[in-house]
Amino acid sequence: MFIFVEKEELIKKLIREGYLKSEKVIDAMRSIPREIFVPKRQRKFAYEDIPLDIGHGQTISAPHMVAIMLEALNLDEKSKVLEIGTGTGYHACVASKIAKNGKIFTIERIKELAEKAKENFKNLKIKNIVSIIGDGSVGLPEYAPYTHIYVTCSSPSIPDVLIKQLDEGGKLLIPVGRIYGDLWLIEKKNGIVKKNLGGCAFVPMIGREGYNED
């Protein structure tokens, strides 16, 4: 009961602050319990609007960032989405509720996190997420093209290989920088249109099109 009240307060705050706008994103965020995606010692902070430690030097994104990204992506019920950086799966679960008749492909390089995410998808009985372990900096060409690709780790540049895996009319959302950077929205529509959505902070993307591991 307490958790339910805290979740509602967070949603109201995100609406008030202008991060949450559309009914579909609000309903989707309301339907996913964030506390199950963080280690037990972090659960009391699950409905604070901050990133939290999920182990392996990684974090679960802050709720306002998930809201900003899902509002910018504007998924529909049938979207075919690629997420790069599953973590423990929170963002993918929220996206899966919007694209309820579509599919979310999500790729994570750290096996233990990908396994935890799979467990979370199963516990929440979510069936439209395909979880893959690997280097997502090169996308996931096997299942391309996607209507939407979003990246939840910060990249040194906008990899061409990701733009190639977008459908015509598709959108790519990617943080560019090293931890601190800008969130870029790229639309593939008779060419490429890029828009800077503003500052953000994400853990680095490690991989072929990302940073070296060190």
Contact positions vs ligand SAH (CB under 6 A): 58-61, 84-87, 90-91, 107-110, 113, 135-137, 152-153, 203, 205-207, 210
By C-beta, is 162 or 205 nearer to ligand SAH?
A: 205
By C-beta, is 29 or 113 nearer to ligand SAH?
A: 113
Q: What is the nearest approach in angstroms of ligand SAH to the Cβ of residue 185?
A: 17
* Dist. CA 134–CA 119, nearest whole Å: 18
Q: What is the nearest approach in angstroms of ligand SAH to the Cβ of residue 56?
A: 7
Nearest alpha carbon to residue 147 among 118, 106, 188, 87: 188
Residue 34 near residue 44, CB atoms below 8 Å: no
Burial class, 123, CB count within 10 angstroms (exposed 0-12 / middle 13-18 / buried 19+):
exposed
Q: What is the nearest approach in angstroms of ligand SAH to the Cβ of residue 191?
A: 27
Q: What is the nearest approach in angstroms of ligand SAH to the Cβ of residue 179?
A: 11
On the CB side of 91, CA atoms within 13 Å amount to 32
By C-beta, is 26 or 105 nearer to ligand SAH?
A: 105
Nearest alpha carbon to residue 100 among 24, 197, 179, 172: 24
**Which residue out of 22, 31, 61, 137 is catalytically annotated?**
61
By C-beta, is 36 or 189 nearer to ligand SAH?
A: 36
Instruction: Verify whether residue 131 is a known catalytic residue.
Output: no
Question: Could you tell me the sign of the dihedral formed by the alpha carbons of 16, 22, 23, 25, in that order?
Answer: negative
**Residues annotated catalytic, as ranges:** 61
